[in-house]
Every structure is written in C-alpha cells, then in structure tokens.
Amino acid sequence: MKTSMKMVVAVLVLAGCGGGGGSAPSDQGPGLKVGSDEVLFRGVLVEFQSKTPKEGVDLLVLNNDTGEPLDLVRYPQFKSGPNGKIELVFPKSIPLVAFKAWGASGKMDFVESYLFNVPSDAQDKRIYAVLQFTYEAALSTSYVEDVDPKTYGHLAGTVYWVNPQGDEEFVGCLRIEVRDEQGQVLEEQKNEEGRGIFAAVRYFDTHNDMPTSLEVSDMTHLLNSRFLIANLPNGKYTVSAVSVDTGETLGEVVVRAFPGGISIGNIYLTTDRFPTNPTPAREECKGQEKE
C-alpha cells in the first residue's frame, strides 16, 4: 500500500543567492551552484489534505535541534514558488533541517506549520502546510479543546513502514506515547466535558482521514496510522510508537511543539529491523475501509 501523509507543514523556494554562503533561492532553478561541500535540496509545498502544490506560502528554514531560524542571512524568510517549488543549497555539515510554513496562498489561510527531521539532501520532498479550516476541524473531530494558542501547540505525524521498494506503508495496532525532555511519559488531562486539554493523543478515523475520539479509535490501523497529540507547551518531545501486543517501542521521533502551531514528525520503521510490515495479522489491526 503506497501512501503519502496528509498532515501538516510547508516547503520553499528561495529568491536570490548567497555569494559563497551556500544558500540560494529556488527561483534560480538550474542556475543553482552546488559546491563540493554542499548538497542540493528539492521540495514542494503542498496543502495537507489535498496534497496539491501551493505557491506564495511563507517559509523559513529552522535549526532541526533548536527550532530557531537556521541562518537569517543565508536563509531569510521566503515564499514557495510556482507549483510549490523549493530548491536550496545546504552545507553537508547540516544533515537535517526543519521548515516553518504559514500565511496564505490565494484565499487559503494556513496555520503555523512545522516539519522536522528533513534530510538536507532530499529530492522531491513533500512539505505539508495545514489550512486554518482543517486545523480547527481536526481539533473538533478529535474531541479536544484548543485551550490556549498562546501557550499550547500540537504535534502530528504518521507511523510508516518503508518497504524494500521505498514505498511507505501504514502500520496497525500501535499506540502513541509522548515524553517530555525529562523522559516522563505524559498522561492526558481532560476538562469537565471530557475533552482533552493536555497531552491528548488521538488516532485517525479510517473512514474520513480525520482524527477522532478514543471511543472511535484508540490505536493506529493498517489503513491509517496517522496521529495527533493536542495541547503541549513549548518544548521538545519524544513521540514513540508502541506495540499494543508486547509494549515494545518500535520507533520514535523527537519533535518540538510551538504555541499556536502544529508540528509534524513522522516515525519510520525500516527493513533493517522489520523485514516485513510489523502489523499483526488480525482484522482489528486493519481498520475499516472507507464507505
């Protein structure tokens, strides 16, 4: 099953070039010069749900570890180019970068969307940006409250098994755990109505590809292994995919939460450890087909 993630965060095209600085705007296209100690990044900014490329969305390159701007001189704020195009040149000494996307494309408004753990030499990398409407709908369908956008942000992602052909497959019968920087597993807190107000982990409904309540789905499925973690204060978190059957951690990713935004961090399982998709052969792990 070949899938592509429908959640959150953007891409970019730079304008202008840096003389000897190693960065260059994507609108230079084939004219980009890549030195022997540099790598070329190519990407495309797409809207999260439709996966259609979007031009004119604001973008900023971030330090993958700190979440701060990587270098505002070499990599100033820019907009995604025609067909969402992005091309950048990075030093080989920077293997991973992150992106922030926000603003508008035409009449579409995007929330602040962050994508972490992006290889600096990636080719045709899809960066997702989340529409304001989608963002609000997701919090509603998942039965969580957007407590305080000035204080809390949200995390999202997908657990993928990467098959020998390089295709990404969903993985079922996993639960998601989130730990703070001290290694403490965070437990969900709810308000009087039962809505999640802190560290609320949610899974996606296989019928409509939107996050839903735990009563509808309390784990990932082979037909959809996306997740949402709502209402976390600014900071760095470790998100783990844990087997429902054994309690074993199959994979994890480190992601930063930003107030008022949504940060994407996918978990990738590879054939080095899992020769086949680790989804157990049970119907409950598959999920229900779309009607």
Residue 35 falls within a domain, yes or no?
yes
Whether residue 12 has pLDDT greater than 80: no
- Regarding whether 32 and 116 lie in a shared domain, the answer is yes
Q: Please, which pLDDT band fits residue 2 given cuts at 50, 70 and 90?
A: very low
Note the pLDDT of residue 31: 63
**Domain contains 150:** yes
**140 shares its domain with 279:** yes
Same domain for 188 and 259, yes or no, is yes
Give 291's pLDDT tier (boundaries 50, 70, 90). low
| Together in a domain, 148 and 282 | yes
9 is a domain residue: no
Q: What is the dihedral of CA 145, 147, 150, 156, to 10 degrees?
A: -40
pLDDT attached to residue 13: 31
Q: Domain end: 130, 155, 182, which one?
A: 130
CATH number of the domain residue 34 falls in: 2.60.40.2190
| Whole-prediction pTM | 0.86
Strands (E), 163-279: 168-170, 174-179, 189-190, 196-198, 200-204, 211-212, 226-233, 235-243, 249-257, 261-264, 267-269
Closest of 81, 82, 84 to residue 51, by C-alpha? 84
Tell me, yes or no, whether 12 lies in a domain: no
First to last CA, the chain: 18
In a shared domain, residues 185 and 280: yes
**Of 130, 161, 189, which marks where a domain is finished?**
130
Top pLDDT among 18 and 192 is at: 192
Same-domain pairing of 37 and 164:
no
The per-residue pLDDT for range 229-268, each reduced to its tens digit, is 999 999 999 999 999 999 999 999 999 999 999 999 999 9
- Higher-pLDDT residue of 26 and 161 is 161
Name the strands in the sheet holding 235-243, side by side, starting at the edge strand that comes first in the sequence. Answer: 174-179, 235-243, 249-257
**Which CATH number belongs to the domain containing residue 188 in this structure?**
2.60.40.10
Q: DSSP secondary-structure letter at 200? A: E
| Residue after which a domain boundary falls, among 103, 130, 157 | 130
Q: Is residue 231 part of a domain?
A: yes
- Asked, for residue 18, whether it belongs to a domain, the answer is no
- The range of the structural domain enclosing residue 199 comes to 134-286
Residues 40 and 107 in one domain: yes
Same domain, 104 and 155: no
Nearest Cα to 285, choosing from 223, 201, 199? 223
The residue with tokens 């429908």 is: 6
- 160 with 103, same domain: the answer is no
Q: Which residue has the higher pLDDT, 29 or 233?
A: 233
Q: What angle do CA 158, 288, 47 make, to 5 degrees?
A: 40
Confidence bin at 21 (pLDDT 50/70/90): very low
Categorize the per-residue pLDDT at 25 as very low, low, confident or very high, splitting at 50, 70 and 90: very low
In a domain, 53, yes or no: yes
* DSSP sequence for 95-146: -EEEEEEEEEETTEEEEEEEEEEEETT-SSEEEEE-BHHHHHHHHHHTTB--
Token pair recorded at residue 119: 């290889």
Are residues 199 and 124 located together in one domain of the fold?
no
From 11, 25, 9, 43, select the one nearest 89 (Cα to Cα).
25
**How are beta strands 152-162 and 211-212 bridged, if at all?**
unpaired
Please tell me the total count of domains within the chain.
2
Does one domain contain both 45 and 152?
no
Residue 21 lies in a domain: no
Same domain for 213 and 280, yes or no, is: yes
